[in-house]
Chain A
């Protein structure tokens, strides 16, 4: 089954805000295997335009940072699942998603205790 995942980006990270993101990553999955990855630069940041694009591109899941309730509910209503408040670099986010453990509020940056452990 093909599944499309969209991540609003800020540089290589999840964009802190859905409404202000200027580019998005669309990853395509076939039976859980990543088969495509495209970065699309948006004409201008706009939550309305992004919602429109999400529906047009037949996105199944949006992984993002901050999103207003209005757009969150709208996407849910349109059967698009949203995992929000996710903080991290896009590769770590996709990696966590592929392992099946991504949830709302996940922070995927190394935090001080983790940094110390690595050192």
Chain B
């Protein structure tokens, strides 16, 4: 007997086999209720595959075509696979563009036995069409400051390597976006990209989410769960807010990274996993290591390649670029006529400090586009808090704008790229001023500066103010 025939006629562990196919698919009964799906399907949709059986597929796949005209119904007429481009809203509340292929399943007698639906995530293709590459961007990440140019240079290199990446930067600087784009530009792009927020779940739940559990492992574990590591098999696992990972889980994570395998909770079977790890945090991990709050060995394991995303205030010339980029983006998306900012709006937007960085800038423009009914966004179309925010917190502390011409930056001239040291000196001066104002009270000074006490402490140490 030929090898091919032996394989095709042998009994195989179908569940195990199908779960290792990287293409997400779901098998349906003739009445279009789900029979089973594989783990890649769970990674794409977020729907737990063990809860699939018996549920009408439209409630699981949630594709536009499921509501507007089920493609499986067309199969009855043609008997040939049907391919459609559509979108789905997954169980992480995210809209994902997909290509969906629906094929009929027949039994040995050639009688209809059901359907198989396979899915291909094409959202990254659509994004690249919507936002063409330019010399100022990398897959939708925009900037032309020297700090961002360095990042654009290194991103393709990092994407092609398989090294762990640690992304640091303040909140709103685009850590999630960068992680996703590294994955999309990597050889693992066709495989799952799984994200988990280490700060969003209690320790016990996080452990089960990361490493999975077996049925009966703890009270309430009524079913086995694969865990994010196994869902990300052959793909990328993105651990955001890694600085919030409890110490006990840090040890377990390190073990998994060293061994390349997980042991689900309550199980004693070793499950090999091939996962590329990207971690991100807004915390200072070096400081946490020094304070004993983060394991040094894990830090070195994650810090193979380091990417620090600059705060918007450190990206000279990028504010105007981003304002125009988001204006065009939101105006096209919402079908609005807005084309430009008035001088007064630019003055406000140019002097604002953006403590929430690019995310905040994007939200401000989205708001302005929604409110503006004409072609020009004026100052009164901007959120009122921009105008009301106290000077110490809200206004950019760029020396040229703060000390010489406050609220008068009518145009955004890209500034000299070697101004970073001057920002440091201004920051030092800001700290000194705040401390003088509060009579040396660090807590009050931190509050004035809009920082946490630990940030103030770290920066004081950095600038040698504590001596």
- A residues within 8 Å of B by Cβ? 10, 13-20, 65-69, 72, 84-85, 87, 105, 107, 109-112, 114-115
Contacts and interface: CB of A to CB of B under 8 A. Distances in A.
Nearest to B66: A16
B56 interface: yes
B103 to A, nearest CB: 22
B54 A65 contact: no
Nearest to A84: B93
Given A17-B64, A68-B93, 14 more contacts: A13-B59, A15-B67, A16-B67, A17-B62, A65-B59, A66-B90, A68-B89, A84-B93, A107-B51, A107-B59, A109-B56, A111-B55, A112-B54, A114-B54
Contacts of B406: none
Interface of B: 51, 53-56, 58-59, 62, 64, 66-68, 88-95
Nearest to A69: B93
Contact of B89 (A67, A107, A112, A115): A67
Nearest to A87: B59
SS class of chain A's interface: helix, strand, loop or mixed?
A: mixed
Nearest to B59: A87
Given A20-B68, A67-B93, A68-B95, A112 B53 contact: yes
Contacts of A20: 64, 67-68
Given A17-B67, A112-B54, A72 B62 contact: no
B87 to A, nearest CB: 10
Contacts of A114: 54
A19 B95 CA distance: 11
A10 B53 contact: no
Nearest to B53: A112
Contacts of B92: 69
Nearest to A18: B89
Given A10-B67, A67-B89, A67-B93, A16 B59 contact: yes
A68 B62 contact: no
A109 B59 CA distance: 11
